[in-house]
Amino acid sequence: MYQKILIGIDFSDISEESVCWAVSRFPKAEIVLFHAIEQVTIPGYLRRELGVELDVKLEAELDVLANLEAIAERVGIKPEFEIRRGWTPTALTGAADDLEAELIIVGAHQKRVWQTDELGNMCRAVVRKSQLPVLIWRPIRNQKDKTILAALSLRDEGAPVAHTAAAFADYFSTRLVLLHAMPGTLQGYLRAVSSPAKVKETLRRIEAGARLDVEALVPPELRERLSVKTVVARGRPIVTHVLNTAEAENVDLIVIGKAHAPDLASRVLIGSVTSQVITGANCSVLTVPL
């Protein structure tokens, strides 16, 4: 499914587990293990007296490389290694572009380091900067993936999310849940412009139309092979529908879109729904560039 996968490693148990998962799910992919080293600043008096700045930086890189090699040995793979300096999201996404990776995987920690931390800050920063799909990996619920949820907009950008989710469901032989949340103001608007007797029937027709539009986003050749469930919800906040449906369906992976800023090709935006799903989900989340 993917030829080259770049996996961000911070030497936590989560990041090592994400490597095991990637290798088990994508055995034919070329795996690249990545780590970013914070800039090392050597005090001036040490540089003057000992001239050790270069040696300290080299020592840090060798230490990282040794730890990456240890992970590879434990997992039982022979990957490539990529070590860069700087802020992890910038260095990671830059490496992904340079190496022509097709997927980035980063492990999501379940606990805050500091009370002021917001869960998922680093993951969301990677998603913001990346123009590639990013899999925010969380420990698996089931030994074998069973259900994938596609959170779909019915604007023009809904198709890439549906295509990606369907491709994953086909590859992993899972069932696919398609979710679309209609505006919460719809019923109030109908009540304002229509008679009470017609509101219920109009809502029924609108929901049926939305269901057809959602299902039409799945490529026909995949639709025939997949077990698909369509959920059309109504009301806001949309993120609540996404997270609640993921829990109710015991979802292993949520697939959701991430939009590029118009007229600013180098910038990427994360909508509030995508950001909250990354933060609030109890399963892995795959963001798809739109």
- Which domains does the chain possess? 1-139 (3.40.50.620), 141-290 (3.40.50.620)
- Digits of tens for pLDDT over the chain (290 positions)? 999 999 999 999 999 999 999 999 999 999 999 999 977 666 676 666 666 555 667 778 889 999 999 999 999 999 999 999 999 999 999 999 999 999 999 998 754 444 444 445 788 899 999 999 999 999 877 778 899 999 998 776 789 999 999 999 999 999 999 999 887 656 555 655 566 677 777 778 888 988 999 999 999 999 999 999 999 988 778 899 999 999 999 999 999 998 754 444 444 445 678 988 998 999 999 999 98
Structure tokens at 165: 């989710």
Distance CA 132, CA 94 (A): 11
The kind and range of the H/E element at 277 are helix 272-280
Distance CA 275, CA 104 (A): 17
Q: What pTM, to 2 d.p., does this model score?
A: 0.85
Q: For residue 178, what are the β-bridge partners?
A: 150, 230
Nearest to 105 by CA among 32, 162, 28: 32
Distance CA 122, CA 136 (A): 10
CB 280 within 8 A of CB 248: no
Residue ranges of E strands in the chain: 4-8, 30-37, 80-85, 103-107, 134-137, 147-151, 175-182, 228-234, 253-258, 284-289
CB atoms within 10 A of CB 16: 19
Q: Residue 189, Cα to own-chain centre: how many angstroms?
A: 35
Cis peptide before 237 (omega within 30 of 0): yes
